[in-house]
Amino acid sequence: MRRVMVPVLWVLLVMSLSYAGYFGSRHLEGGLLQSWMACFFGTTYFLSIAFGTLYVYIAARLRGANLPQCILASLVNPSIWMTKEVLRLTESHPFLESLYWFLNPLDLWLLSFVIMEMGLATLMVRTILKQKGEEVIVFTMGPVVTVLGSLTFAVSIYAWGEGENIYVYFLEGYRLLFGYGL
């Protein structure tokens, strides 16, 4: 458990500090420090959410975690961010409707990135192990298809009307399930 939790907690720490730094910077009333903090912590916040999986998966794998453990560990931090966003919506919307936010296009995009990173991380771990003298085949069907498939999906949902079209269907789904929200 420890071999999985440590990398997860490291990314969560970066994510939390970045969140605090990014939003906290707004209380500085402008100036260079505010601007620097917003840029720096905005970047680390984004990286921790969108690319934290890459680190978590590689670190967990190198620490000896098996495949299911690595997959679960990779999903923890993105799920925390997505859940935070859902909880945020409960300020205005009923809980059930807020849960629907899990299906928003940005989350789908993030998940496809996370899956791509898992495939990519597998290839990177194999490369590292090979360099350490282990006998492993780096490129196999599984991770290569995972990387290409998820990347294609991520690019496609953006390319299709810059994400607007899928958002339209997301709203259609909402109305189908919840009506007009009144």
Q: What residue ranges bind other proteins (CB under 8 A)?
A: 19, 22-23, 25-26, 28-31, 34-35, 38-39, 42-43, 45-46, 49-50, 85, 88-93, 97, 100-101, 104, 106, 161-162, 164-165, 168, 171, 174-175, 178-182
To the nearest whole angstrom, how small is the minimum distance from the Cβ of residue 145 to other proteins? 27
Given the complex with other proteins, which of 142 and 161 has the nearer CB atom?
161
| Rounded Cα–Cα distance for residues 170 and 97 (Å) | 12
To the nearest whole angstrom, how small is the minimum distance from the Cβ of residue 140 to other proteins? 33
Given the complex with other proteins, which of 141 and 182 has the nearer CB atom?
182
Given the complex with other proteins, which of 25 and 74 has the nearer CB atom?
25
To the nearest whole angstrom, how small is the minimum distance from the Cβ of residue 165 to other proteins? 7
Given the complex with other proteins, which of 26 and 130 has the nearer CB atom?
26
